[in-house]
């Protein structure tokens, strides 16, 4: 009886073992099918180019402001009623041109009165000198006549200066701005009349860090660009370097003079300034998009040649930048093919396909894309 019970138990255990084996086999086949259905990694599409040596002109870069070589806000020294306005807003004028004529009738009349007094004093002095030779008057009388003549001449000169101030002239050649002064308007002393600016040439004032002072000198070539004139540059020279460093910013102020024959550049505009310094150098150059910057260092992906193109990540040392480009000082050699975009989906050994139909920007002097 016991042997039968034991036999049945073994049979039951065998059946359970077979069922477990069948379930495990089914699960294994299911997992293998799922694994087989997982798509294999595909080659990643990237852009790439060969690293090349290029000539670089070392430069100091800054943002500056345009300033007129000569520029003033014209105002009247004395009060008066405007009789004539002899210019149009925005007109070019020459030095000495009459811009505003104030009413000077009273002052001119007084000037004439003083002129008559001077003429009379001159005649009195001449007559007394003749009488002095005949001993008819004393030397003291002649001296008094001469002093009186000098006093009247001084009064006449003072009044002539007042009359001259009633005529407001251009102190130098330039272009006048927009004015609201009209004939019949009364001007007080110091009231603004119009701005006058010399536009050719113009100054550009900018600041550079004190560490760059040793690379500055008078006569250095300066290239100026402005968003208002995309793709156009203006050349000039460094004409002044401040003898003092700002103790707050530790910057030194520099002034350059830029030719402006077309009078395109206007005082008050901002501009990007590049100062050439030192001799041109050659650097291995890449687009800045090719560099992956990390806390532990900068890297690039090099495309290794072969039947299937694969990439390898390499550490590099970067140098100066210009526009869209960066100089690579070490880590790669000229002629190596470097990935320029699509690095986020790459790792060592990733297979790639190069499609350069759209390349990242690689311009040493980029301009705004929106105009």
Q: pTM score, two decimals?
A: 0.63
**Per residue, what are the HEC states of 43-95?**
CEEEEEEECEEEEECCEEEEEEEEEECCEEEEECCCCEEEEEECCCCCCEECC
Q: Is residue 140, in this structure, part of any structural domain at all?
A: yes
Q: Is 367 part of a structural domain of the chain?
A: no
Tally of structural domains, the chain: 3
Q: Which pLDDT belongs to residue 255?
A: 92
Residue-range definition of the domain harbouring residue 239: 60-69+197-276
Is 341 in the same domain as 318?
yes
> Across residues 211-229, what is the average pLDDT?
85
Residue at which a domain ends, from 248, 276, 304: 276
φ, ψ for residue 8 (rounded to 5)? -65, -40
Q: Which CATH number fits the domain that encloses residue 65?
A: 2.40.30.170
> Are 318 and 251 within one domain?
no
Please state the rounded mean pLDDT for residues 351-360.
84
d(CA 120, CA 304): 107
* Segment 124-145 mean pLDDT: 78
CATH code where residue 302 lies:
2.40.420.20
User: Mean pLDDT score of the chain, rounded to an integer?
Assistant: 84
What is the mean predicted confidence (pLDDT) over 142-161? 86
Least confident span in 42-56, 119-133, 242-256, 331-345? 119-133
Q: Both 272 and 306 in a single domain? A: no
**pLDDT tens digit string along 1-29?**
556 677 777 777 777 777 787 777 777 77
27 falls within a domain: no
Q: Is 126 inside any structural domain?
A: yes
Domain annotation covers residue 23: no
Tokens representing 47 are 């852009």
pLDDT at 369 over 70: no
Q: Which helix (H) or strand (E) holds 211?
A: none
Confidence at residue 371, expressed as pLDDT on a 0 to 100 scale: 44
β-strand pairing of 352-354 with 44-50: parallel
Query: What are the start-end ranges of the E strands in 80-220?
Result: 80-85, 92-93, 98-102, 167-169, 174-176, 186-187, 192-197, 202-209
């Amino acid at each position: 009886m016991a042997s039968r019970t034991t036999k049945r138990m073994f049979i039951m255990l065998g059946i359970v073992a077979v069922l477990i084996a069948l379930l495990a086999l089914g699960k294994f086949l299911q997992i293998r099918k799922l694994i087989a259905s997982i798509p294999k990694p595909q080659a990643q599409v990237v852009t790439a180019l060969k690293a090349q040596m290029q000539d670089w002109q070392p430069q100091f870069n800054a943002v500056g402001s345009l300033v007129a070589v000569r520029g003033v806000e014209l105002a009247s020294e004395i009060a008066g009623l405007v009789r004539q306005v002899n210019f149009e807003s925005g007109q070019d004028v020459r030095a000495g041109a009459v811009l505003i004529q104030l009413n000077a009738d009273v002052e001119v009349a007084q000037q004439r009165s003083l002129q008559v007094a001077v003429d009379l004093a001159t005649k009195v002095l001449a007559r007394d000198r003749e009488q002095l030779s005949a001993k008819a008057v004393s030397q003291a009388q002649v001296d008094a006549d001469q002093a009186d003549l000098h006093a009247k001449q001084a009064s006449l000169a003072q009044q002539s200066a007042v009359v001259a101030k009633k005529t407001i002239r251009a102190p130098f050649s330039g272009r006048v701005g927009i004015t609201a002064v009209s004939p019949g308007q009364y001007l007080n002393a110091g009231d603004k009349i119009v701005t006058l600016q010399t536009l050719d040439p113009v100054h550009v004032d900018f600041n550079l860090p004190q560490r760059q002072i040793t690379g500055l000198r008078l006569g250095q070539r300066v290239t100026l660009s402005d968003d208002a004139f995309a793709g156009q540059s203006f050349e000039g020279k460094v004409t002044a370097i401040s003898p003092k460093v700002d103790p707050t910013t530790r910057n030194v102020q520099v002034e350059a003079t830029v030719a402006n024959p077309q009078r395109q550049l206007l005082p008050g505009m901002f501009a990007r300034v590049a100062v050439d310094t030192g001799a041109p150098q050659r650097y291995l150059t890449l687009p800045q998009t090719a560099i992956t910057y990390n806390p532990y260092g900068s890297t690039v992906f090099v495309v290794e040649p072969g039947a299937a193109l694969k990439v390898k990540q390499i550490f590099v040392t970067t140098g100066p930048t210009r526009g869209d480009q960066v100089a690579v000082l070490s880590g790669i050699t000229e002629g190596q093919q470097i990935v320029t975009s699509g690095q986020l989906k790459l790792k060592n050994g990733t297979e790639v396909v190069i499609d350069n139909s759209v390349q990242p920007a690689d311009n040493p002097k980029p301009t705004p894309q929106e105009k």
